[in-house]
C-alpha cells in the first residue's frame, strides 16, 4: 500500500499525524512529512487518517509489490 498526500490541499490540520503518528509527522505549523510506503501493520491507521483528513488530501493506492500477487 502506498500513500500520496496532495500537499497543495493539505491545510496542516494534523488529523493524520494524530491518528497515524508513525506515518505522518508535522514539521512546524504547516509542513507535513509522511512515509509513502505503508507497512502492513499501519494500514488500518492510515485508512483512518485518510478518512479523517478534512480536505481529503491523503490518497491511498493499493500498489502490489513486484513478485507479490
Shorter beta-carbon distance to ligand SF4: residue 11 or 63: 11
Least distance from ligand SF4 to the Cβ atom of residue 6, Å: 8
For position 42 contacting ligand SF4 by CB under 6 A, the verdict is no
**Contact (Cβ atoms closer than 8 angstroms) between residue 63 and residue 1:** yes
Q: Which one of the spans 4-12, 36-44, 60-68 is the region binding ligand SF4 (CB under 6 A)?
A: 4-12
Q: What are phi and psi of 36, to 5 degrees?
A: -70, -30
Least distance from ligand SF4 to the Cβ atom of residue 2, Å: 15
Burial class (CB in 10 A: 0-12, 13-18, 19+), 14: middle
Amino acid at each position: 500500500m502506498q500513500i500520496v498526500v496532495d500537499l497543495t490541499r493539505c491545510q496542516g490540520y494534523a488529523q493524520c499525524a494524530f491518528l497515524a503518528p508513525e506515518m505522518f509527522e508535522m514539521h512546524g505549523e504547516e509542513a507535513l512529512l509522511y512515509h509513502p510506503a505503508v507497512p502492513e501493520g499501519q494500514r488500518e491507521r492510515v485508512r483512518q487518517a485518510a478518512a479523517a483528513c478534512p480536505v481529503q488530501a491523503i490518497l491511498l493506492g493499493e500498489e502490489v509489490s513486484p513478485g507479490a500477487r
